[in-house]
Chains A and B, each alone.
Chain A
Amino acid sequence: MKKTKWLAALLAAVLCVGLTACGSKESTEEPAQPAGTEAAEPEETRTEETEPEAQEPAEAEEPAEEKGRLMMATTTSTEDTGLLDYLKPLFLKDTGWDLEWTAVGTGEALKLGENGDVDVVLVHAKASEEEFIANGFGVERFPVMYNDFVVVGPAEPIAKTDDIESVFKQIIEEQLPFVSRGDDSGTDKKEKKIWDNLGLDTSTDPNYVESGQGMGATITMADEQKAYCLTDRGTWLKQKKDADLNIELDIVCEGSKDLLNQYGVIAVNPEKYPELNNEGANDFIEWICSDEVQKLIAEYGVEEYGQALFTPNAGTDN
């Protein structure tokens, strides 16, 4: 009897400790939430997420009737930067669709579309996207926004510049450590394309490694190894700000025209997969390309990082 009581007490104690630990963690993580959700309209976000049907007191406009789930495949950068968390409740309110997504590399995102596992894709590898449509899996590509890439790394020996060619040349010539994602993601494709365009062969640098992981993990690895890497600005800013350990790398190259990264949104072809939510996909495309949302994207991140993470450019031909 005594033993069981003692055990129960111990169990209870462990649970309490566990709960408080979780609780405090949540509360410490709260301020680290993406800027948009917290800063822009915190009240709205919360009510929308917990009680989607609740009336929105701050706005006069009635939220749209709930219609169901819209499944999207997208790249890790849109999730890592918190952009999607920022847009999701707004999209639900405006159109009634509950947006859910899986954040993977561009390669896999398109594969998910090809297999009819998602309704819409939001990715950034123009050539692959066009191929995706040419193969009949997607309907039409709409440019949404772009962000830019930066090369980060130790301040020595590469001095900060806007000339990507000189930076990459120096890395190869001096066999500097470089961490590539090597996961066939949009960023990875972009990086490979730059090396190709410059006619540089990465296999001649024994310190060029492929992490096979996401952008955040790759930046962390580069930081550990004091290596260089190519990253999108959004993930870089977020990582630099949120990581527990101060990242000791700096931007060594930015502003080159080669470093722009165009996002496109494509509805998966309903002729291939009639059971898909094509209506929701079209609503999403129309919504994200609307002037109002484009403006929201342009504002996203300014408050938290001091600069916008994405530049909207819907309606252009990028």
Chain B
Amino acid sequence: MKITDLHKKIGRFELNVESLSVEPGKIHGIVGSNGCGKTVFLKLVMGILNPDRGYIDYEGILPQEITMMTQRPYLMRTSVYKNLIYPLKIRGIRPDEEKMDELLDRAGLLEQKKQYARSLSSGEKQKLSFLRAMVFEPKVIIMDETLSNLDAESEELFKELISMRQKKDPATWLIVNHQWDHVNRLFEAVHYMEKGRFVKNEIAEG
């Protein structure tokens, strides 16, 4: 994914990405202090915001192959299961219920399968929204603070699911995480942001 001269002004804040190349199939961390424009950047990539000018070359990836987990997950007013299969439903894919149950079981949500999604605890909500983003196997997965404030167990689950996915069919991950120490082992590239600009890119070895 190549980003050229991307520009967005929101109030006093200004995002300016002269050029950024996101290598496909890798896990990218985006690091920077509060208000440096990480979320704005992610929203531009997701297509939630439109840039004032500039261009993102998705290199053949369609918008519906990109997903994003927002800071506060949006859960539909229906059951846990229906939330999980929503991305499949709108793609006209019949969900394999056994597989879904397996997934839920792994996340410890199988018992709550029929429960009203919004009655889950906040950690469970995050897990559900993570599973929902994975279930339709998108090519680009954006996570905005999704891994913050998780208990150790859930964090392990997320890491496990991420590496599983990368082994099978590597996706491009864009991850913003405050407590990035915990997950930095996953990052294959780290992009540093300051005041709306990318200042440094580090590509990890191997």
A touching B, CB within 8 angstroms: no
Give B residues with C-beta under 8 Å from A: none
Give A residues with C-beta under 8 Å from B: none
